[in-house]
Amino acid sequence: MKHPKLQHRLKRKRRIRARVHGSSARPRLTVYRSLTQVTVQLIDDDAGKTIVAASTHEAKARPNVAGGQKLGSLIAKKAKDAKITSIVFDRNAYAYHGVVKAVAEAARECGLKF
């Protein structure tokens, strides 16, 4: 294996995606972290379409816990505008702590049901 850390992350991602599936009634909220920003999307897997998306760049926040809280409330607001109240959370092979946890908790506080 050339990059074992990446291989392990992709293996965790496949394992999670085998169980998590979004539909038009309950889209999948997926989180992607990079060094410069955090991106979240609401995806309808049946249609293969992104319904709503947001990033820390759009929220004018840094990719840290405080930025994750801003991002979670922004995506929840956009989801409400699109008449979405219930979602499935996809942590995308990242551990559920730090920024990922902040996004999820802020979205819950703003009214999204997981």
User: Which of 47, 54, 60, 46 lies closest to 74, judged by CA?
Assistant: 54
How crowded is the C-beta side of 11, counted as CA atoms within 13 Å?
Answer: 7
Which one is the CATH code of 4-109: 3.20.20.80, 3.30.420.100, 1.10.10.10, 1.10.3720.10? 3.30.420.100
Average pLDDT for the chain? 94
Instruction: Write out pLDDT tens, residues 3-43.
Output: 898 899 899 999 898 888 888 889 999 999 999 999 999 99
Q: For the residues 75-96, what does the mean pLDDT come to?
A: 94
Model confidence at 51, in pLDDT bands (50, 70, 90)? very high
Q: Is 43 helix (H, G, I), strand (E, B) or coil?
A: strand
Model confidence at 1, in pLDDT bands (50, 70, 90)? low
Q: How long is the chain?
A: 114
- Give CA separation, 58 vs 39, 54, 70, 96, 98, in Å: 9, 6, 10, 23, 20
The model's pTM is: 0.88
CB 13 within 8 A of CB 82: no
